[in-house]
Amino acid sequence: MRKLVVASKNIGKLREIQEILRELPFEIISMQEAGYDFEIEEKGNTFQENAMLKAQALFQHVNTMVLADDSGLEIDYLGGAPGIYTARFAGENASQEEKNSKIINL
């Protein structure tokens, strides 16, 4: 069976993608399962650019298909913020509760 490597360290995202694509004839695995545990810098200006950066970085190391995505929270009232900065909006190591609190208290 052909492998499809997901360019993410997020186990929840991996499980979601595995569930969505479960009918496809691929073994969907994490980048760690493929033998790669490096950080991929997300320095793009859009979700699409960040997904492409992740896919290209991982593809250089594997000999199979790669799937990458990037997403975040865009709040109209905040002009689309935090957008691509969602994960770091409340601080690099903020919990989900701290992130929610920061947004609610704006």
With a cut of 90, say whether residue 24 has pLDDT above it.
yes
Catalytic residue at 70? yes
Q: Is 62 exposed, middle or buried (0-12, 13-18, 19+ CB in 10 A)?
A: middle
In whole angstroms, give the CA distance from residue 33 to residue 23: 20
pLDDT tens digits, one per residue of 33-82: 999 988 888 899 999 999 999 999 999 999 899 999 999 999 999 899 89
- Closest by alpha carbon to 30, among 60, 2, 10, 5? 5
Is CATH 3.40.1190.20 correct for 1-71? no
pLDDT for res 99: 86
**Residue predicted with more confidence, 65 or 86:** 65
Where does the chain hold its CATH 3.90.950.10 domain(s)?
1-71
The pTM of the full predicted model, rounded to 2 decimals, is: 0.81
104 confidence band (pLDDT: 50, 70, 90): confident
Catalytic residue among 37, 69, 70, 76: 70
